[in-house]
Structure 1
Amino acid sequence: MPRFVPDPEVLRLGEALAALRRRRGLSQAEAGARLDMTSQGWGLYESGRRPGLFRPDVQRRLTGALDATPEALALLVSGAQTPHVDPAATGLESRGRGFDGPPPVVVKHLKVRDDALSPWAEPGVILEYQPDLWPRGGQGCVIEMKDGDLRPRLFDRSEDDRLHVRGVGALDRAEVIDRQSVARISAVIARRES
């Protein structure tokens, strides 16, 4: 079986790409991770064994990961100039393959001031709630009204134009709230004694 021999021009282009990467101080794995690519995938471009290295969109993507330009790559191939790669330049950025974890959860607090939710939450209990997390049936919620009023309740159900909740004056008393007057509803995720 004949062995694959890359075109000499593709080899020069791959070598110039490798030179740009080394000047940036990156390994093949680090450069590839900026594009969600493996080090082997990046290495195939540098060795001239991956097709497409002459395509402008591929060159922009690869040189962008190195905070460089296709023009800098062309200058290296031609030998006309040795371009300076600015580490502070803004190029293509990627999160790479690392996992940053979930975004931080915003939690707000509200102290119960009356016995409207008794025995579920006595006066003095602090409700922790997560804004815009929709509550399940029977779960505590904090309803932020458009007038700025905060109403801790137990969520029952929702209809197109109304919320059905419990806890006004007594836990078994139902209340219907017009959704037009509600700014936000948030699920209670914890109750703490103060």
Structure 2
Amino acid sequence: MSGSDETSQARALGEALATLRRERGLSQAEAGARIGMTSQGWGLYEAGKRSNLFRPDVQRRLTGALDATPEALVLQMGGEPASPEALPATGLSARGRVFDGAPLQTRRLRLETDELAPWASAGTVLEYVPGRWPRRGQGCVIQIDDGAQRVRLYDRADDAEVVVLGAGGLDRTERIARSRIQSMSAVTARFDDE
């Protein structure tokens, strides 16, 4: 692979990483903080200026911070994930048909309590996108392993837990172990009951 081809591929890979991050509503600082990296360090990966972006272990680490996989990164680039045997020694390489993403599937639910007032009160209908990670201060719908569904405001997360607001009022925080969360969904619209 020539130097210009490698530079071009690094930029494309970085752009795909940036798109995945934005889809999850995270800033470079928030994504980097999840893996102990500065926003500047994360930005260098998105700009394609770090050659180790081609390493599979680095891709796993970066996409893991976004609750995604290296395969999602390849799909974002417009290719199909390669089988592990077909991967070059330098990392993932994507060529092939373009992935036609399905339109976002949204769901709705009506709040039964005033726990999130004044952000949203009982009777408010929330529209959310299953699987889309929320950004700080955004509403979220969390499916817990015991079958419970919680509606909260996302605050922050690390490798072990997610911190949300709204467990009995917006001034109260709740810590939920990541191992208990089956899915996290970002609220994209609110419809007040009229």
So what's the TM-score if we normalise by structure 2? 0.47
Higher helix share: 2
